[in-house]
Chain A
C-alpha cells in the first residue's frame, strides 16, 4: 500500500490520474448540451433494449432470471442508499425488511385451509408484505434512528439477527427452521417485466425525490443534523419516513422474491449478503447519488461473472481486494468521477491521503467595497409571527425596557446546569422587535449556553422562553425555527458537501412548506431570493462552490444568509466575526445594519469584539459566571466598574476599554 501511495503521491501523477484532461473533458462534455442529449438517447436505448429483450431479443428464461435477480439487487441498493447515502444513516441490517416482506408473503400464501380458503392470492399477499415491512420499519426506526453513526449501524445489525431468530423460533407461524413452501408459479417474463417496471419506477422516484425539498432536507440531515433541525427541518419525522419507505420498498421486492423462489427459510430470506451487496454496490457506484446504486450493482454483477467464472477459488480474495481499493481510491464511486463538481475528487483524494486541503476561494476575490445590493423583501406570511405589527410597535433603545411593549424574544429566569456546574443562573433577557442587542462577557460566562437555551438545543432547568407571544420553553428546535427564530453558530454549521446555492435554498421557512410542499421542487421565488441574498452577502461569485471550500469569513456570511432565508423575526448571531479578517468584519457590520434597518429583523449577538458591538448595538447585556452583570447602552456598560473588573480584574480599572478599537484585548484569541 505504501509504495503504491508514494507512487500516486507524486503530485503530477496523481493529477494525471484523477484530474486528467480526458476525465475533465468527459465530465464537461457530459454536462454540455450535446453530451446530455447523447446520454439521454443512450439511456432510452438501453431501456428499449431491456424491454424488447424477452420478445424481439429472444433472450432465454435464464437470462431473464439473471436480470430479474439483478433488478432485485438494484432495488435493494437504491433503498439502502435512501437512508445510507442521502440521509447518512448507514443501515447494516437493511436485509431484515427483505426477509419480513418475503415471510409475510410466504405465510399468507401458504396458509392452511381457514376462513379465507387455502392461502392468499399472490398480489394481495405481496402488497401486505410491503405494508408490514414499512410499518415495522417505521416502528423500529422510531427507536433506532435516535442513534447515530456506528451505533445505528450496529443496532440495525442486531435488529436483523434478532428478527431472523424470532422467525426461526416462532415455528407455529413461520415453519421455524424448516421454512415454508409456496405454490410454484414460474413465469419468468412476467416477473422480468414487473421488476423492470418497478426498478425504473424506483429510479425515477429517487431522481425526483432528490430534486424535491424532501430530498434536499435528507441531505441536510446527513450533512449536519443539528443544523438542519435548527433551520426548521423536522428531522426525526423525515428520517423515519424515508426509513419506512425504504423498508416497504425492500419488503415488496422480498415478497416478489419469495414468490419466485417458491421457498423461504430463515437463512435464505434473512441473509447478510443482501445488505453488504447493497452497500458495496452503492459505494462502488457513488454513495448518495441517484444513479450510484444502479451503476454499482450492475458493475458488481458483471465483475462477479468475470471473477467467479475465471478465478474460482480466488474470487473472494479478489473481491475483498477490490472492495478495499475502491474504498480507498474511489471514495465517491464511479459516478463521482464524472461529477462536474469534482474538482472535488482531487480534493477528496488529498483529504483521504492526509495532504492539506485545496485552498478555498481566496478572500481577496470578495470585493468589499462593492455597493451593498438591496435585500429581498421577506415573503409575506412566512413565519408565524406578525412582523409588521411587531415592528410598528417597536420601542427603541433602553427606553423600550420600560415601555412595556411585548418583546420579540424573551428569556426569563433561565437556568441551565451541567452536572454540578450552573452555566446559566437565572438570566432574563429581552430583545424587542427591530432591536440590535449585544451579549458580551468573558470566556465561560454562559453566552453560548444561553443561546442554546433560547434556541432550544438545551432544555432548561428553570425559567421560560417566549417568542413573540408564544411560550416556546418546551417546543423542539425545528418548531422554534419555524416560528421565526434563526441563529448562527460559534462553530460554523454549513452543509459542507453542498454548494453555497444549495445551502441557501435548503434554509427556507419550513413552516410554510406544508406536508405536500415537501414534495415540490425549489420554486422560483426561493431561487431568486437566494440569489438576491447571495448578491447582498457577496457570495454570488462562489454560489456553485462547495460550502466546505469557503474561507472562514465566507462561511460566516453564508450562515447569516441561511438564517435570513427563513424570513426570521429574530436572528441569534454567535460570534459572527470570530476568525474573520478586519476588512470583512466591516462588510459584515454594514450588512447586519442593513438587515436590521431594511427588514426590521431583531438581532441578538454574542461577540468578543466589543468595538463591533459598540458600533452597532443599541443595547448590551453583560454576562459573568452565568449571571447578568450589567445591561444598558454600550457606553453605560463599559463604564460599569463590575464589567471592567470582570474583564480585567481589579487592576484593569485604570484602563477602561473604550476608544481602543477592536484591539483592546477584549477580543477573543
Chain B
C-alpha cells in the first residue's frame, strides 16, 4: 500500500482499458436491414431501438424486435418503401441490446441519436426502460413511437416527442370490468404488485369499478418477488367479493391461481393482469386457470382490419410465415408503432421532426391492430383494450363486443360468492395461524440445508436459492415428461442433487473453506450466476409449475381451510428435521460433524476425517435443498431467477435462529411464517409489503440485541465486533 508508482500505474492501466472499451465495441447488433437489394430507393429512413436481448425481458424483447422487423420486411419488400413525396425510401432499423437495464437503455438511446444518427426512435420493451429512453429522446428532440411502455406516468410528463399506439395501463381492465358489470357483478377486491406498471393498472381498475358502481371491498399491494399470497387471499376469501382483480407478473398469476385453489377462494370472476393471454402459462396451469379473465392489447382473432397488413388474421399469417410462430400482442404493438410512424412520415411528406410530429398528432388510421388516434399526451385512445377468458384451455376474446369471439362465462361454475364464515379480524386468526404454520414449514425445509452448511463448514452458501431452483426444475421435468408427482420424485431428486452437491463440494467449495468469508461468498455468488443463466439457456425464462395430486384444501369449517400440499410439505420438513436431529445426536457420523463444526483442527487431531465430513454434509444438505425445491414446485412458480429471494430468507432465518441449529431452523421459520401471515392479515393495504420489512427488522434486531443467536447451534455464533 505504499509507492505512488503503483497507484498511478493502475490509473494508467485503467485508462487504457477504458479507451479500449469505448473504442472497441460500437458495432450494433446486425439485423433489421432486410431488403438488401437496392430496389431503386431514393434514400433510407433510419430508425433505431434499444431492445432487451438478454436479462429479464429477453423473451418480450425478442417478440418486440420480431414485430419491428415484420414491418421492415413488409415495407421494403411488399409495400415498396416509404413514400416521401414522390420518392420511395428504404426502411432500416439499428438495434442494440439494452440488457433489460434502465441505465443501459438510456445510454444506447443516446448512442443511436449521436453515433448512428437515426431519424426516429422506436421504443424499448417495458415501461421502466421506456421512461429513461424517452427522456433522452425528448431532450434531443427526436421522436419516439412505442408500443410496449404502458405506464400512465410516462405520459404525464408533458413530453412532445413520445407516442404510444396501444392502450395505457390504467385502461387495461376497462373492457373486462364493463363486461363483468353488465353481468351483474356488485363487489370487487384488488391486489397488485407495488411497481410502476401494475400500480397504474390497479389505480385504473379502481376508477373503472367505481364508474360502474362496483364496490371495492379491499385493495392490497405486495412487493416484487413475492413468494406467498395466502394472507391476501385469506382476507379476500372472507370478504366474499364477486370479482377478484390482481396481478403484475407471470409469477404472481401462478401464485394467485394456486393460492385461490388452496384456500378454496372461488369468486364469480377472476381478472388477472398478466398471464391469461399467454398460451405457455395456460399450458402450465391447466384446468386451474380455466375461466380466468385477462386483458390483451390484441389477439389474432380480433375483428380489426386496415389497408396495410389486411386483417388481424392476415397479419398473424404474415408474421408466422416470417418467424415460424404466431405473434403475441407485444409483437403486434411493435409492428403497429413502426407502422404509425411510417404513416405519419408519408402524411408529412418529409422526415423533418416537426412535420412528422404534427402528422402523428393528426393521424387517424384503421389498422389490423385497431384504430389509431393520438390524444394530446401522445396516447392512442381510439383502440379499446381487449379482454380474454380462458375457456377449456383456449384463449377466447370476450370483450369489446366489436372484437369478441365468445361469450363471457359468468359466474364461474362452482363459485361461492358471498362472505365465507366470520368476516371479523379475530375470526380470521385461525386461518392466519394455519397459513403461517404452513408457510413456516415450507421455510423450514427451504432453510435447513443452508443452516447446516453454514454451521458445519462456515460457508455461507449464497447459491442456496439456485440449488432450490435446480431441484424444482428436476421435479418439473419429471412431472412434464413422465407425469411423476413431485412428492413421488423425492428419492430421485434427493439422489441426483446429492451427486450434484458432491461435485460442487469437491470442485469448488473445498477450495474456499479456509478462506475469509468474502472469498467464499463471492465464489458461491459466481456459482449462483452460472446456475441461473445455465438454467435459462436450457429451459428459457418461461414460468413453470409442476402438478401434484396432493393439492386442493381440506375444509375444516366455513372460515378455516388447510392447504393440502403445504400440509404435506410441513410433514416432510418435520421428517427431515427429525432425521437430521437423530443423525447429529446419535450416530458416529453426527458426532464427527458436530466436532468438525466446533473445532476443525481439534477434530482432525483426534482422527476425524474432516474432509469426508464436509463432503457428506454438503452433499446431504444439497440433497435436502433439492427436495425442498421439488416440493415447492407445485406451490411457487419455477423459473431460473427464483433463487435470490429464497437465499435472502434463508440468511435471515439462519442468522437469527442459530447456525446449524436444527431446532432453530424450525423455530425461526415458524416465527417468520407467523409474523408474515399475521402482519399481512391485520394491516390494511400494505401488510404484505410490511411483512417483508418485518422479517429484516427482526433479523437486524436479533443480530444486534442477541448476537450469540436465539437458538444454540452447531457453531457458536459470535457476531459482535470487539
Contact = CB atoms under 8 A, between A and B. Distances in A.
Contact of B522 (A43, A283, A315): A283
Interface stretch (A113-121, A154-162, A532-540): A154-162
Given A31-B5, A62-B111, A62-B114, A165 B693 contact: yes
Contacts, number: 341
Contacts of A63: 22, 114
Given A35-B5, A186-B139, A324-B508, A291 B111 contact: no
B488 interface: no
A39 B12 contact: yes
Given A188-B110, A225-B722, A169 B20 contact: no
Contacts of A178: 151, 153, 195-196, 199-200
Max chain B Cβ within 10 angstroms of own Cβ: one of A84, A147, A279: A147
A234 to B, nearest CB: 13
A146 B704 contact: yes
B597 interface: no
Interface in A44-82: 45-47, 49-50, 60-63, 65-67, 69-70
A205 B167 CA distance: 52
A323 B508 CA distance: 13
A162 B21 contact: no
A327 B24 contact: no
Contacts of A161: 648, 692-693, 696
A289 B153 CA distance: 44
B655 interface: yes
A282 to B, nearest CB: 10
B99 A154 contact: no
Contacts of B102: 261, 268
B182 interface: no
Contacts of B527: 320, 324
What is the interface residue range for chain B against chain A? Answer: 35 or more
Contact of B8 (A36, A283, A320): A36
Contact of B526 (A5, A39, A66, A321): A321
Nearest to A150: B517
Contact of B703 (A50, A147, A283): A147
Identify which of B1, B2, B103, B526 gathers the most chain A CB atoms within 10 Å of its CB: B1
B17 interface: yes
Interface in B692-708: 692-693, 696-697, 699-700, 703-704, 707
B558 interface: no
Contacts of B605: none
Given A151-B719, A154-B651, A261-B103, A338 B6 contact: yes
Given A312-B97, A316-B529, A324-B526, A302 B107 contact: no
Contacts of B16: 46
Given A154-B651, A285-B10, A177 B97 contact: no
B521 A30 contact: no
A90 interface: yes
B719 A302 contact: no
Interface in A330-388: 331, 334-335, 338-340, 352-354
A225 B18 contact: no
B558 to A, nearest CB: 32
A669 interface: no
Nearest to A321: B530
A155 B697 CA distance: 9
Contacts of B9: 30, 35, 39, 42-43, 291, 338
B534 to A, nearest CB: 6
A177 B221 contact: yes
Interface stretch (B83-91, B129-137, B357-365, B371-379): B129-137
Contact of B132 (A35, A61, A262): A262
B14 A352 contact: no
Nearest to A328: B511
Contacts of B24: 302, 305-306
B27 A309 contact: yes
Given A176-B199, A229-B722, A46 B12 contact: yes
A56 to B, nearest CB: 15
Given A69-B107, A158-B700, A316-B532, A150 B14 contact: no
Contact of B521 (A145, A153, A353): A153
Interface residues of A, number: 119
A454 to B, nearest CB: 17
B696 A65 contact: no
B11 interface: yes
A515 interface: no
Given A65-B106, A146-B721, A165-B692, A186 B136 contact: yes
Interface in A13-38: 30-32, 35-36
Contact of B699 (A39, A154, A291, A353): A154
B533 A168 contact: no
A226 B722 contact: yes
B529 A319 contact: yes
Contact of A181 (B3, B156, B533, B651): B156
Interface in B10-52: 10-22, 24-25, 27
Nearest to A302: B21
A415 interface: no
Contacts of A143: 700, 704
B686 A169 contact: yes
Contacts of A50: 15
B586 interface: no
Contacts of B530: 316-317, 320-321
Contacts of B157: 181, 184
Interface stretch (A293-301, A484-492, A658-666): A293-301
A42 B103 contact: no
B537 A1 contact: no
Interface string A127-166: 0000000000000000111111111111101110110011
Given A151-B719, A317-B533, A323-B525, A31 B3 contact: yes
B138 interface: yes
Contacts of B282: none
Contacts of A261: 102-103, 106, 132, 135
B8 A301 contact: no
Interface string A2-13: 100100000000
Given A60-B115, A158-B699, A169 B507 contact: no
Nearest to B534: A317
Interface in A544-587: none
A315 B58 CA distance: 13
A109 to B, nearest CB: 14
B720 A148 contact: yes
Nearest to B699: A158
B223 A165 contact: yes
B101 to A, nearest CB: 8
Contacts of A340: 2-3, 6
Contacts of A229: 722
A309 B21 CA distance: 11
A154 B719 CA distance: 11
30 contacts: A30-B9, A39-B9, A40-B5, A40-B8, A43-B15, A60-B110, A61-B110, A62-B107, A84-B518, A146-B720, A153-B521, A157-B648, A158-B697, A158-B699, A159-B696, A165-B223, A169-B689, A177-B193, A178-B153, A181-B131, A186-B139, A263-B131, A266-B194, A306-B25, A316-B529, A316-B530, A323-B526, A335-B10, A339-B6, A352-B511
Given A158-B652, A353-B511, 4 more contacts: A70-B18, A207-B7, A291-B11, A315-B54
Interface of B: 1-22, 24-25, 27, 53-54, 97, 99, 102-103, 106-108, 110-115, 128, 131-132, 135-136, 138-140, 151, 153, 156-157, 193-196, 198-200, 221, 223-224, 460, 506-508, 511-512, 514-515, 517-519, 521-523, 525-530, 532-534, 537, 644, 648, 651-652, 655, 686, 689-690, 692-693, 696-697, 699-700, 703-704, 707, 717, 719-722
Ordered nearest first, which 7 A-B pairs have the shortest CB separation? A46-B15, A177-B194, A320-B529, A291-B10, A62-B111, A60-B114, A316-B533
